[in-house]
A = this chain, B = another copy of it.
Amino acid sequence: MNLILLAPEQALSDQQYKLSDRQIEHIAKVLKKDHGDKLRVGVLNGLIGDAVLDKSEWRVTIETLESEPPKTLPMELVLALPRPNMLKRTLMNITAMGVKKIHLLHSAKVEKSYWQSPVLKENSIYDYLVEGLEQARDTVLPAVHQHTRFRPFVEDVLPDLLVKRMGLVAHPYQAEPCPVDLVQPCVLAIGPEGGWNEFEMQKWSDAGMQSVHLGDRILKVETAVPVLLSRLYPAK
């Protein structure tokens, strides 16, 4: 937690926010801050600045809000739904890296039971996104969309996403090496552990998506995603 992120429901007044249990624990045990110390805080979807800690009431009073959150990645990330444990870490990591549009998608090799996971509940997703923001000192909450059917997504949703965006689909075969430092925004689709099937690859291709690969090594989704994002755009 490199930033204490303050959500609207924590506000006591314009300047005062009460701290969540998780934040109290972090401030007390990791940061070891005293009454009256300054903390780096950010307002959810807003600016970043300093606040003063009131340890008796476990609240903070904002003193300054002067910094913009860091730059974002100009992309829409489409991710075949990973298994729940991998999903948690992936949501945190892609949020920390600056992805702001996330589409979780069904695919032939995604187990249907994954869609029932409590990780996918709105509150739970929110918590992982917030952890990613606090890690990266960001304040802007990503939007996460869930698409439980592959074909309607590709036929009805994807065309709009591809307006003025380059379409890329990660696939190990019949693909070009992943490009580096794109100058335009993109849509990037990353498959499940067993990969996209033939029908799905045909649909991506029909939609105008270009196949890119990461070489001969098979990486876990949690590694493949940062590897791909890091090649597509330089960190800023």
Contact = CB atoms under 8 A, between A and B. Distances in A.
A173 B69 CA distance: 18
Interface SS of chain A: helix, strand, loop or mixed?
A: loop
Given A180-B180, A226-B227, A227-B226, A236 B220 contact: no
Contacts of A135: 218-220
B138 A235 contact: no
A215 interface: yes
B97 A219 contact: yes
Copies of this chain in the oligomer: 2
B180 A181 contact: yes
A223 interface: yes
Interface in A206-231: 213-220, 222-223, 226-231
A96 interface: yes
Interface in A85-126: 93, 96-98
Interface residues of A, number: 34
Q: Max chain B CB contacts within 10 Å: which of A214, A227, A228, A229?
A: A227
Given A177-B235, A178-B235, A214-B235, A136 B219 contact: yes
A216 B230 contact: no
Contacts of A214: 235
B2 A218 contact: yes
A181 B234 CA distance: 12
Nearest to A232: B230
A216 B71 contact: yes
B230 A226 contact: yes
A137 interface: yes
